[in-house]
Amino acid sequence: MRSTSEGADSRVPVAVLGASGIVGQHMIRLLTDHPIFRVAEVACSPARRGRRYGSHVDWIVGPAPPSEAAGLRAVDAEADGLDSPVVLSALPSVPAVRLERSLSGAGHVVCTNASAHRMDADVPLIVPEVNADALESPQGQRPSAGGGVLVANPNCVVTGLALALAPIERTWGVASATIVTLQALSGAGLAGVSGLALTGNVIPWIEGEEEKIGPELRKVLGSEVAVAVAVNRVPVVDGHTAHVFLRLERPA
């Protein structure tokens, strides 16, 4: 175990899982100079273990890795364990399945962007502006002996949809939603669709994406809205667009 103390810095230490991927990089960027949290540990693949983060990461979300994180040596969260009380996970689904529950059971507060546990009955699926009260749900998981808990955020498309649909659902009710998405290249990650495949092209399929949107949206909204969705990968760098057609339960 490593000490996470850093002089007189009183901010809460945070570990980032999957720190070398696009989502992990954005997490580190947003934590830089944060008033409450600081990056204390970066967890990457075993092949990067022990290497300084700034020397091995293919940094693409700005000019250079923040100095706050650049000097940290990468750890293997499974082999080394983590000291930080808060863990932000940007892991792919397969390693997330085993590691996130293990870390929450060991006393860490794990906030995950991965899809592995989103639909688990005891895992709150949170969009803070919509359903922060789900964190207090008595049906939720019991904190571990060390106070650990696992909380998820939804799919990127669902987050935007939930923000737009929640006030409509609460005012008039939403009976059904038909959704067509236009999703950016960055959503596929560093090893996603090649630029050549998307030159002058739109790909009307993203593996596993359509299946997530309806169930996750219903869980966040707490509503049985019927959802039909078609997803498309389009040649833009950042940002997803959704065309949404609603049938309401009451006249608006």
CA distance 47 to 53: 12
Annotated active-site residue 108? The verdict is no
From 209, 197, 202, 192, select the one nearest 233 (Cα to Cα). Answer: 202
Query: What angle (nearest 5°) sits at the alpha carbon of residue 112, between those of residues 178 and 242?
Result: 20
CA dihedral sign, ordered 11, 66, 115, 209: positive
Annotated active-site residue 111? The verdict is no
Instruction: Determine which helix (DSSP H) or strand (DSSP E) holds 104, and give its type and residue range.
Output: helix 93-105
E strand spans, 18-114: 37-43, 86-89, 109-112
Write down the catalytic residue from 26, 56, 156, 243: 156
Write down the catalytic residue from 44, 108, 111, 240: 240
What is the chain's percent helix, strand, coil content, to nearest 5?
Answer: 35, 20, 45
Whether residue 133 contacts residue 174, with contact meaning beta carbons closer than 8 Å, is answered with: no
Residues marked active site are found at: 156, 240
